[in-house]
């Protein structure tokens, strides 16, 4: 059975089309990744699905309820982890969770029991009496996630859940998300961290300028670029410019200081061409490796966006 059904969903702000008639279904218990650069329409799509914005075309059903006709029922069945940790700074962790419990009409006799379960699961017990503003970013994200789960929603929307977190906190949060998925909760996840989506998601939709350009499993998306291997070459000496490398026949060449990344159908030929250039320029090869293309490569190939663009996106989020 489908947890989310989206048919020809559109949103237009004035003359600007934010979402262009997208369609997809998400099965119950699935972890669904929604990837795309800023302005692709991810947040607008989420806003329509959670009842914060009205579509200008198409339909969407969440937990079996139409988002326009029954937004209140939709809200009862979903939890939302927004990108911004938007709990209340002046309230403690416990007070925040208690407030959210009341908003979701959890019977007062069950509130404390449910809060304690979540404090335990999210390892927040020792911070119960701490004000939200005094928590670290990682603890704030865990508290926000706990708040989204208080009413035991069937579907959880997560917008950039690990954005701005350090490596350890991000890993801990990913583990919690995986645990949640294992317990059968449907997860709709947006993230800029493509490899994170690859680890967590059963399927990924790539959204560019309001259109879904690809929707498949991470493995299937990777397979789009698996046939085109990448060689990475490290060298000493003067830094080579893209002009120096013009004679190499390749699908894509990236230069990053004294490291080159060449995507090519013919590794031997590209390598021998590079050796010639290196000799001419006095560069000394340090290391050569063949790399299996990842999901990021698939994303770049399928969306037509550059790596620089993606990096700017990531930096913008930090």
Partner 1 sequence: MSLREELGGITAIIEKDLKAYYFKPPNISWGILFPIVLALSFSLRNPEGLTDLAPGLISMATLFGTTSMEAIVITFEKRVGALERLQLAPISLTSILVGKILGGTIFGLVISIVMTLLATLFLGAEVTSLSMFIVVLILTAVAHSALGAVVAVSVKEVFEAQTLSNYFRFPMIFLCGIFLPLAKMPTLLQYLARLLPLTYSVEALRACMTATSDNILADTVILTGFCVLLVYLSVALFRRNQES
Residues that bind partner 1 (CB under 8 A): 50-54, 72-73, 75-76, 80, 82, 84, 86-91, 95, 99-100, 102-105
Please report how close the Cβ of residue 237 comes to partner 1 at its closest, in angstroms: 51
Please report how close the Cβ of residue 9 comes to partner 1 at its closest, in angstroms: 17
CA–CA distance, 209 with 227 (Å, rounded to integer): 27
For the chain, state the CA radius of gyration: 23
Residue number, 50 or 194, with CB nearest to partner 1: 50
Please report how close the Cβ of residue 115 comes to partner 1 at its closest, in angstroms: 14
Number of DSSP helices (H) and strands (E) in the chain, helices first: 11, 14
Residue number, 76 or 317, with CB nearest to partner 1: 76
Residue number, 100 or 208, with CB nearest to partner 1: 100
Please report how close the Cβ of residue 77 comes to partner 1 at its closest, in angstroms: 9
Please report how close the Cβ of residue 96 comes to partner 1 at its closest, in angstroms: 9
Please report how close the Cβ of residue 88 comes to partner 1 at its closest, in angstroms: 5
Query: Vertex 255, ends 229 and 165: CA angle to 5°?
Result: 85
Residue number, 140 or 222, with CB nearest to partner 1: 140
CA–CA distance, 211 with 193 (Å, rounded to integer): 20
Please report how close the Cβ of residue 58 comes to partner 1 at its closest, in angstroms: 17
Residue number, 99 or 279, with CB nearest to partner 1: 99
Alpha helix stretches (DSSP H) within 128-263: 137-149, 167-182, 194-200, 218-226
Other CB atoms within a 10 A radius of the CB of residue 124 amount to 21
Alpha helix stretches (DSSP H) within 2-160: 42-49, 71-77, 93-103, 108-121, 137-149
Which residue(s) pair with 208 in the sheet? 211
Structural contact between residues 61 and 80, judged by C-beta atoms closer than 8 angstroms: no
CA–CA distance, 164 with 83 (Å, rounded to integer): 10
Residue number, 87 or 201, with CB nearest to partner 1: 87
CA–CA distance, 270 with 248 (Å, rounded to integer): 6
Residue number, 104 or 271, with CB nearest to partner 1: 104
Structural contact between residues 40 and 208, judged by C-beta atoms closer than 8 angstroms: yes
């Amino acid at each position: 059975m489908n947890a989310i059904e989206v048919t020809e969903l559109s949103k237009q702000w004035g003359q600007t089309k934010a979402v262009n008639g997208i369609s997809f279904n998400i099965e119950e218990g699935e972890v669904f990744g929604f990837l795309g650069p800023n302005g692709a329409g991810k947040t607008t799509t989420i806003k329509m699905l959670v009842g914060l914005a009205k579509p200008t075309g198409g339909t969407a059903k969440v937990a079996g309820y139409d988002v326009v006709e029954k937004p209140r029922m939709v809200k009862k069945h979903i939890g939302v982890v927004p990108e911004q940790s938007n709990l209340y700074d002046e309230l403690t962790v416990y007070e925040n969770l208690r407030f959210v419990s009341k908003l979701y009409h959890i019977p007062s006799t069950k509130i404390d029991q449910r809060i304690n379960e979540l404090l335990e699961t999210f390892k927040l017990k020792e911070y119960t009496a701490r004000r939200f503003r005094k928590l670290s970013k990682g603890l704030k994200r865990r508290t926000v996630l706990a708040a989204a789960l208080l009413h035991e929603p069937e579907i959880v929307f997560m917008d950039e859940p690990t954005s701005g977190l350090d490596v350890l906190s991000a890993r801990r949060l990913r583990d919690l998300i995986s645990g949640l998925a294992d317990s059968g909760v449907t997860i709709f996840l947006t993230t800029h961290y493509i490899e994170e989506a690859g680890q967590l998601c059963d399927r990924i939709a790539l959204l560019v300028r309001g259109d879904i350009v690809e929707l498949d499993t991470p493995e299937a998306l990777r397979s789009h670029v698996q046939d085109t291997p990448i060689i990475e070459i490290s060298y000493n000496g003067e830094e080579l410019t893209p002009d120096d490398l013009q004679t190499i026949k390749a699908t894509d060449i990236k230069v990053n200081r004294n490291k080159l990344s060449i995507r090519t159908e013919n590794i031997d030929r590209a390598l021998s061409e590079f050796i010639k250039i290196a000799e001419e320029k006095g560069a000394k090869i340090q290391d050569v490796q063949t790399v299996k293309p990842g999901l990021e490569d698939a994303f770049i190939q399928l969306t037509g966006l550059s790596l620089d663009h993606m990096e700017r996106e990531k930096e913008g989020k930090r």
